């Protein structure tokens, strides 16, 4: 398919206009005009680019792209190496951040809910989801589900009840949203990354907290998006997992 056709489809499907983000969503580095093979991954790090070159990909599609508001604007050092690799190999880079967290079907949070068999009962729009297990279970049993589904044992900060049913979650560096989970009276809040103060908040506010991994909680969205593209268009999508313990 044509790059411009893919770009338009992704922008529309992921409703990028609805999000105020910290990085540009869409085509970030322009490569060839025709796309047959797409490598998907969490972060456009050098290892992912090298793998895309090896696989002869025409485009890379990631959740964490480039040009974040907080980063230096100059293209030097590791950033120069990454962009040079893309340009020299005529590979397009597409990055979708918050739109890929929040999409109601393909997003990280929607996919996590599916993975953990949660019925979504979120009372208001936003990135944080609230869901319910079909029946109450011991916290340890639910932690086992998270471990198995993400192939990574979460860090558990205890504070909630022995048996859990109501779960709030948000992928990535979303530990600050624990306030939202507390306001919703959730038994557990799950995000990717954790902060020092989360330990005290969990204990003092009667909620369990699980740090399930920033990388681990954000593989699901881009992977689902790649599968969707492969089913919809004449393109091959290959998900490449560059391991990251954080
Ligand atoms: Zn992230």
Q: How far is the CA of 176 from the centre of ligand 1 (A)?
A: 14
- Do 41 and 86 reside in the same domain of the chain? yes
- Do 124 and 38 reside in the same domain of the chain? no
Q: How confident is the model at residue 153 (pLDDT cuts 50, 70, 90)?
A: very high
In a domain, 123, yes or no: yes
- Do 113 and 169 reside in the same domain of the chain? yes
- Do 207 and 184 reside in the same domain of the chain? yes
Q: How far is the CA of 43 from the centre of ligand 1 (A)?
A: 9
Q: How far is the CA of 162 from the centre of ligand 1 (A)?
A: 30
205: containing domain: 108-217
Q: How far is the CA of 214 from the centre of ligand 1 (A)?
A: 6
- Do 92 and 114 reside in the same domain of the chain? no
pTM for this model (two decimals): 0.95
Q: How far is the CA of 179 from the centre of ligand 1 (A)?
A: 19
In a domain, 26, yes or no: yes
In a domain, 67, yes or no: yes
In a domain, 243, yes or no: no
Q: How far is the CA of 172 from the centre of ligand 1 (A)?
A: 4
Q: How far is the CA of 112 from the centre of ligand 1 (A)?
A: 14
Q: Looking at residues 35-52, what average pLDDT do you find?
A: 98
Q: How confident is the model at residue 79 (pLDDT cuts 50, 70, 90)?
A: very high
Cα Rg of the chain, angstroms: 19
pLDDT at residue 125, rounded to an integer: 86
Q: Looking at residues 108-131, what average pLDDT do you find?
A: 95
Q: Looking at residues 115-142, what average pLDDT do you find?
A: 95
Q: How far is the CA of 213 from the centre of ligand 1 (A)?
A: 10
Q: Looking at residues 209-215, what average pLDDT do you find?
A: 98
Residue 133 has pLDDT above 90, yes or no: yes
In the chain, the percentage of residues whose pLDDT exceeds 70 is 100
- Do 163 and 91 reside in the same domain of the chain? no
Q: How far is the CA of 218 from the centre of ligand 1 (A)?
A: 6
In a domain, 244, yes or no: no
- Do 207 and 124 reside in the same domain of the chain? yes
pLDDT at residue 19, rounded to an integer: 94
Question: HEC states along the chain?
Answer: CEHHHHHHHHHHHCCHHHCCCCCCCEEEECCCCECCEEEEEEECCHHHHHHHHHCCCCEEEEEECCCCCCCCCCCCHHHHHHHHHHHHCCCEEEECCHHHHHCCCCCHHHHHHHHCCCEECCCCCCCCEEEEEEEEEEHHHHHHHHHHHHCCCCEEECCCCCEEEEEEEECCCCHHHHHHHHHCCCCEEEECCCCHHHHHHHHHHCCEEEECCHHHHCHHHHHHHHHHHHHHCCCEEEECCCCCCC
Q: How far is the CA of 57 from the centre of ligand 1 (A)?
A: 23
Q: How far is the CA of 126 from the centre of ligand 1 (A)?
A: 16
Q: How far is the CA of 6 from the centre of ligand 1 (A)?
A: 23
Q: How far is the CA of 175 from the centre of ligand 1 (A)?
A: 12
Residue 124 has pLDDT above 90, yes or no: no
In a domain, 235, yes or no: no
* Mean pLDDT, the chain, integer: 97
Is the separation of the CB atoms in 164 and 186 below 8 Å?
A: no
CATH number at residue 49: 3.40.1390.30
Q: How far is the CA of 28 from the centre of ligand 1 (A)?
A: 17
Q: How far is the CA of 97 from the centre of ligand 1 (A)?
A: 7
Q: How confident is the model at residue 90 (pLDDT cuts 50, 70, 90)?
A: very high
Q: Looking at residues 173-192, what average pLDDT do you find?
A: 97
Q: How far is the CA of 222 from the centre of ligand 1 (A)?
A: 11
pLDDT at residue 129, rounded to an integer: 97
In the chain, the percentage of residues whose pLDDT exceeds 90 is 98
- Do 74 and 151 reside in the same domain of the chain? no
Domain count, the chain: 2
- Do 172 and 203 reside in the same domain of the chain? yes
- Do 42 and 8 reside in the same domain of the chain? yes
Q: Looking at residues 200-210, what average pLDDT do you find?
A: 97
pLDDT at residue 175, rounded to an integer: 96
- Do 91 and 112 reside in the same domain of the chain? no
In a domain, 176, yes or no: yes
Residue 224 has pLDDT above 90, yes or no: yes
pLDDT at residue 95, rounded to an integer: 98
In a domain, 234, yes or no: no
């Amino acid at each position: 398919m044509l790059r411009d056709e893919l770009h338009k489809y992704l922008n529309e499907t992921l409703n990028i206009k609805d999000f105020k983000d910290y990085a540009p969503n869409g085509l970030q580095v322009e490569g060839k005009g025709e796309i047959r093979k797409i490598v998907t991954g969490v972060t456009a790090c050098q290892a992912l680019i090298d793998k895309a070159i090896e696989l002869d990909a025409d485009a890379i599609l990631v959740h964490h792209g480039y040009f974040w508001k907080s980063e230096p604007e100059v293209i030097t050092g590791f950033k120069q190496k990454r962009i040079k690799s893309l340009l020299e190999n005529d590979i397009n880079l597409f990055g979708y951040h918050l739109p890929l967290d929040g999409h109601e079907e393909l997003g990280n949070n929607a996919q996590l809910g599916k993975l953990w068999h949660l019925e979504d009962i979120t009372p208001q729009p936003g990135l944080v989801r609230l869901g319910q297990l079909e029946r109450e279970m011991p916290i340890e049993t639910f932690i086992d589900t998270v471990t198995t589904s993400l192939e990574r044992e979460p860090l558990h900060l205890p504070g909630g009840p022995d048996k859990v049913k109501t779960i709030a979650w948000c992928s990535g560096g979303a530990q600050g949203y624990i306030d939202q989970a507390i306001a919703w009276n959730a038994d557990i809040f799950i995000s990717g990354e954790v902060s020092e103060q989360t330990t005290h908040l969990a204990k003092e506010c009667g909620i369990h907290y699980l740090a399930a991994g920033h990388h681990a909680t954000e593989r699901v969205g881009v992977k689902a998006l790649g599968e969707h593209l492969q089913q919809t268009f004449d393109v091959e999508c290959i998900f490449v997992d560059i391991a990251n313990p954080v």
